[in-house]
Amino acid sequence: MWPKTEKQESLFKKAQKIARHISSTSSKHDRDGSFPHEHFDFMRDIGYLASAVPEKYGGPGYGLTDIVLAQFEIGTGDGSTALSVGMHHMVIGTEAIAERWPDQIRQKVFQEIVSKGVLLNNIASEPDLGSPQGGGRPSTELVPDKNGEWYLDGRKTWSTLAPELTYAITFAAVEDGSGDTARVLQNMSADGISIEETWDSMSMRSTGSHDIIFKKVKVKDADFLFRSNPNHPIKDPIGGAAWFPLMTSAANLGVANAARNYALEFAKDRKPTGATGTISKIPYVREQIGRLESKLIKAKRNLFSFAEDWENYPEQREDILTEIGVVKTSSIDAAIEITDLAIKVVGGVGLEKSRPLERYFRDVRSGLFNPPIEARALEQLASSILD
């Protein structure tokens, strides 16, 4: 049923091309925990990094549903790459709706994405703070100097895309007595910035989510994207709320699709000595294949249909806002269940490092810890119907 339009078909085919290109080196990067710079060079060369930039800034103006479909395909080629580039798309997609940045900065950055393929991401998590979703004031701070400028100091963790970022949209405490926090557009080439390669995760090992360290980095007023105060928070437009959860869901379901494809091919090719046919004829194997296929069909329809509804019916977003967490958590649960079933089909050899299935098995577990986590999603849903 998808893609549904010529525009979707164009991006979909581009994503399939990316998936084919990156799949051959994904296992090496996973094994080494290295960042796949060549994957991003390829996406930059064919214009994929600019996909979410609106037409009025010179971009192709692909929408949420278009990019969710594309991210699913790229996840089939490499989960780490899909998850990482999804963070970049998320920043662009949400800002295109919210328009919280100064107009001249938005225009500059969006045009650089189109012309140069620059990468950006929100950099917010810290060793003690954890995710800003839980509240709390960051330890990373902006301290005014005597010349009317600022110094940025601190350490950020889980900084996805760190080795390739042009701009880090950095969350920091403004230490001028106001109690404000701020987001600043920090060019990663500035003096005083270093990357400590701390990322050594079980899952999504090639996202480059290392620590970024800021030491006396000079920041100007013109670099501030916005300031806010916890006592008087600025409410973002609701339209951007779906981008992060759906990008995460698409990447992980793409990985599950790769596990499904591997299990199917294995079942059709595997013929044990003495058997009259391949294991695809065994009732137990056929049952597991049917089960994983049904889960994938339901999960894809759930994700793609929700993306369409969110995009096409903006007047209904307040009513379906709490469904975002349900879509995300159910997508991740499905991805985990599908990879588990794929390993049951393949058997013990699926655990071998020489095969990609154990990587798929590991990668989809990372989605459990991307916001909204299950506990928060369920509390928001319960609150919407009980309170």
Residues 208 and 261 in one domain: no
Q: Please tell me the distance from the alpha carbon of residue 170 to that of residue 323, in angstroms, as a whole number.
A: 29
> Do 132 and 252 reside in the same domain of the chain?
no
Q: How far is residue 385's CA from residue 387's CA, in Å, rounded to a whole number?
A: 6
Contact 244, 63 (CB under 8 A): no
Judgement on whether residues 99 and 155 belong to the same structural domain of the protein:
no
Specify if 211 maps to a domain: yes
Please tell me the total count of domains within the chain: 3
1 lies in some domain = no
How would you classify residue 343: left for phi > 0, otherwise alpha for psi between -120 and 50, otherwise beta?
A: alpha
Check whether residue 19 and residue 63 sit in a common domain: yes
User: Of 207, 228, 249, at which residue does a domain stop?
Assistant: 228
Instruction: Tell me the pLDDT of the chain (387 aa) as tens digits.
Output: 899 999 999 999 999 999 999 999 999 999 999 999 999 999 999 999 999 999 999 999 999 999 999 999 999 999 999 999 999 999 999 999 999 999 999 999 999 999 999 999 999 999 988 666 666 899 999 999 988 899 999 999 999 999 999 999 999 999 999 999 999 999 999 999 999 999 999 999 999 999 999 999 999 999 999 999 978 777 778 889 999 999 999 999 999 999 999 999 999 999 888 778 899 999 999 999 999 999 999 999 999 999 999 999 999 999 999 999 999 999 999 999 999 999 999 999 999 999 999 999 999 999 999 988 889 889 988 898 898
Residues 299 and 364 in one domain: yes
**Cβ atoms within 10 Å of 315's Cβ, excluding its own:** 6
Q: What angle do CA 357, 303, 80 make, to 5 degrees?
A: 40
How far apart are alpha carbons 138 and 228 in whole angstroms? 13
Residue 233 lies in a domain: no
Question: Do 360 and 288 share a domain, yes or no?
Answer: yes
For residue 85, give the 3-state DSSP assignment.
Answer: helix
pLDDT of residue 130: 65
CA distance 220 to 336: 45
CATH of residue 336's domain is 1.20.140.10
* Residue 167: CATH number of its domain: 2.40.110.10
Q: Are residues 136 and 173 in the same domain?
A: yes
Same-domain pairing of 222 and 304:
no
Helix (H, G, I), strand (E, B) or coil at 295: helix
Do 343 and 361 touch, CB atoms closer than 8 A?
yes
Structure tokens at 40: 């991003």
Helix (H) or strand (E) holding 3: none
pTM above 0.85, yes or no: yes
Quick one: 49 and 108 in the same domain? yes
Q: What pLDDT does residue 136 have?
A: 81
What whole-number distance in Å separates Cα of residue 41 and Cα of residue 335? 28
Does some domain include residue 379? yes
Which residue range(s) make up the domain with 98?
6-118
Residue 133 confidence (pLDDT): 65
**130 assigned to some structural domain:** yes
Residue 217, beta-bridge partner list: 152
> Is residue 332, in this structure, part of any structural domain at all?
yes
Q: Is 129 in contact with 138 (CB distance < 8 Å)? A: yes
How much is the pLDDT for 258? 98
Using alpha carbons, list the distances in angstroms from residue 257 to 38, 264, 281, 293, 363. Answer: 23, 11, 22, 9, 12
Which pLDDT score is estimated for 237? 81
State residue 69's pLDDT score: 98
**Is the CB of residue 3 less than 8 Å from the CB of residue 12?**
yes
pLDDT at 54: 98
Query: Which CATH number fits the domain that encloses residue 54?
Result: 1.10.540.10
34 and 112 fall within a common domain = yes
Verify that 318 and 368 share a domain, yes or no. yes
List Cβ neighbours of 29 (8 Å cut-off, separation of 6 or more).
35, 36, 78, 80, 205, 206
List residues bridging with 130 in a β-sheet.
126
Question: Could you tell me which of 63, 81, 165 has the C-alpha nearest to residue 123?
Answer: 165
Boundary-marking domain end, from 98, 118, 138: 118
Where among 186, 208, 228 does a domain terminate?
Answer: 228
- If asked whether residues 160 and 294 sit together in one domain, one would say no
Q: For tokens 């655990």, name the residue.
A: 351
